[in-house]
Structure 1
Amino acid sequence: MKRLLIFLSLFTFVLTFAWSAHETLTYLIVKSTLPKADSLVQITPYTYVEKRIYNTEKLILDDVCGKFISTFVPAWAKFYPPDPTPIDGRVPIWQILTVYSTEPDLGMDEGLNLSKLQSIIGDSQGVRHMKYKLLFFDFFEGSESFLYFVEMSKKAFEKKDRYWGYRFLARAIHHLEDLSMPYHNAPGRLGDVLESLLWNRKKAEELAYRHFSYDEFLAYLLYLEDRETLKIITESEPKQTKNLRELVQRVRLLGLRNLYKVDDIFEKVYSNLDRTLSWNDFVAREGELKELKKITIEIIEEFSGLLKGFLLDFLHQVGEI
């Protein structure tokens, strides 16, 4: 049990945050998909009674458009979304979805009592952001978080509250993006996981650093304005699914079926990884990472199509399209 606690605690932070650059990925998808993305929406106060509890010290309920994105985008970034000041208390649809797609990572789920298993992973935030598959079992609530905020968005639109309809939708987008990340579905290959649990703590640390590093790899591609990546995202065709459950399953499979491929590359290119890689590391070994980039683009292309299809279908259902 002690080894299990040590191992899973190493993954608490990395599994809380899946892909970096949520705001940039969301911006590219939304701006290339929604026909009325530039339409202005009136900012409204939060007036909802929710089934979920939050860390109220870190929960943001005021509007932060115009003063948010520039505070956390890294200095080395060449490309990231604009974040204009609201005009007469109104903001464009794309900006609501872009800014608040980062919101679930800002601490609203930290320090809560959500699950008997949360002590194993260290904190409650991971409970709501992960959907861990180990053998035949699923753990935690990443999928449920997506479905919850879709329902909250629907309720807001039914009240004609467009601002919170889009803001809740942004949170849903965040959780769906989380589910597409391979290491967000499992910490590594089963053999490595068992090794790290049973006798090799260094292996657990290495797997954690692989997760951190792959998290940063997409940010590296987006923030440094990799033309191929941006083109794939913006030009991907919307993909339809029968229902939300099928959507979640297809997104999770994107992560799960690519986990071993990604892990193999990290093991080959960065053996005995003992820190999180930065964009400088990726630039220095760009030639060796062509296959990793190819896999990442394949994941993001499929995911972008699925998210676009969901957005078009959902916004049509609520009367926004």
Structure 2
Amino acid sequence: MKRFMTLVWLLSFAVVFAWSAHETLTYLVVKSCLPNADDLVEITPYSYEEKRIYNTERLILDDVCGRFMVNFIPSWARFYPPDPAPIDGKVPVWQVLTVYSVEPDLGMDEGLNLSPLQSIIGNSQGVRHMKYKLLFFDFFEGSESFLYFVEMSKQAFGRNDRYWGYRFLARAIHHLEDLSMPYHNAPGRLGEVLESLLWNREKGMELAYRHFSYDDYLAYLLYLEDEEVISSIVESQPKRARNMRELIQRVRLLGLRNLEAVDRIFSSVYSGLDRTLSWNDFEASSEQLKELKSITKLIMKEFSGYLKGFLLDFLTQVGEI
């Protein structure tokens, strides 16, 4: 039991953040598919009664457009979204979706009592940000988080509050992006997970570092403006699901379907990994990571298509396009 708790505690720190560079991924998707991306919306105050509780010390309710990117993007990044200051209290649709797609990772779900299972994973934020599938069982609330913020967005648009309609929608986008990440759907390949649980604590730490590292690998590709990966996002065509549940299932399958290959590459190229990899490590191993890049491009192309289809259909439904 102690080894089990140690493993899941380590993994909880990785799954909280899922993909890095939410803002850049969202920007590329939104600017390449929404006909109203440049429409201006008036900033409005928060005025909602929610069913969820948050860490109010970490919850951001004021507008931070124009002040976010400069403090968030790493110094080595060559490409990232612009973040202009509001003009006459208004900001474009793309900026609200871009900036606030990061918001769920800034601490609003930390330090809460959300589930009896959080005593095992050691982090309430992970309860809302991941959706593990182990054998025949699903754990945690990542998909429910997506559906929750879709409904909050509908509520805001129904009140003609376009700013909070898009801001809640940005949070929904974040959680859907989380669900496409392979390690966000399972800790690793089943054999190694069992090994880490039964006799090899170091294996559990290695699995966690693989997860941390794959989080940052997407950021590395996007921030350094990898043309192939960016093209896979921008040029993807909208893909439709019949309903929200099917959309969630298809996105999760992207992660689950590619987990074994991603994990195999990390275990081969970085055997015995004992730290999170940096962009310098990725640069030095670029030749060995060609397959990983191809897999990541595939995930991004497929996921971006589903996200575009969802956004176009949802915004049509609420009368925005």
Identify unmatched segments of 5+ residues in structure 1.
Answer: none
Task: Describe the SS at the equivalent of 2:35.
Answer: coil
Task: Look up the match of 2:171.
Answer: 171
CA distance in 2, matches of 1:72, 1:193: 33
Q: Which amino acid letter does the alignment assign opposite residue 37 of structure 1?
A: A
Q: Does 1:48 align with 2:48?
A: yes
CA distance in 2, matches of 1:113, 1:281: 38
Task: Look up the match of 1:106.
Answer: 106
Q: Does 1:197 align with 2:197?
A: yes
Q: Which amino acid letter does the alignment assign opposite residue 119 of structure 2?
A: S
CA distance in 2, matches of 1:70, 1:298: 30
Greater Cα offset, 3-12 or 20-29: 3-12
Q: What is the Cα deviation at residue 72 of structure 1?
A: 1.3
CA distance in 2, matches of 1:134, 1:124: 19
Query: How many equivalent residue pairs?
Result: 321
Q: What is the Cα deviation at residue 70 of structure 1?
A: 1.5
Identity %: 77
CA distance in 1, matches of 2:69, 2:250: 30
Task: Look up the match of 2:234.
Answer: 234
Q: Which amino acid letter does the alignment assign opposite residue 19 of structure 1?
A: W
Task: Describe the SS at the equivalent of 1:41.
Answer: strand
Q: What is the Cα deviation at residue 236 of structure 1?
A: 0.3
Task: Describe the SS at the equivalent of 1:286.
Answer: coil
CA distance in 2, matches of 1:126, 1:252: 16
Q: Does 1:293 align with 2:290?
A: no
CA distance in 2, matches of 1:70, 1:209: 27
Q: Does 1:161 align with 2:161?
A: yes
Q: What is the Cα deviation at residue 275 of structure 1?
A: 0.6
CA distance in 1, matches of 2:272, 2:8: 19
| CA RMSD across the alignment | 0.4
User: What is the TM-score of this pair, normalised by structure 1?
Assistant: 1.00
Task: Describe the SS at the equivalent of 2:306.
Answer: helix
Q: Which amino acid letter does the alignment assign opposite residue 117 of structure 1?
A: L
Identify unmatched segments of 5+ residues in structure 2.
Answer: none
CA distance in 2, matches of 1:35, 1:100: 20
CA distance in 1, matches of 2:230, 2:167: 24
Task: Describe the SS at the equivalent of 1:169.
Answer: helix
1:38-187 matched pairs, under 5 angstroms: 38-187=38-187
Task: Describe the SS at the equivalent of 1:86.
Answer: coil
Task: Look up the match of 2:217.
Answer: 217
Task: Look up the match of 2:18.
Answer: 18
Task: Look up the match of 2:319.
Answer: 319
Q: What is the Cα deviation at residue 2 of structure 1?
A: 1.2
CA distance in 2, matches of 1:274, 1:50: 41
Q: What is the Cα deviation at residue 179 of structure 1?
A: 0.3
Task: Describe the SS at the equivalent of 2:255.
Answer: helix
CA distance in 1, matches of 2:117, 2:229: 37
Greater Cα offset, 163-172 or 10-19: 10-19
Q: Which amino acid letter does the alignment assign opposite residue 91 of structure 2?
A: V
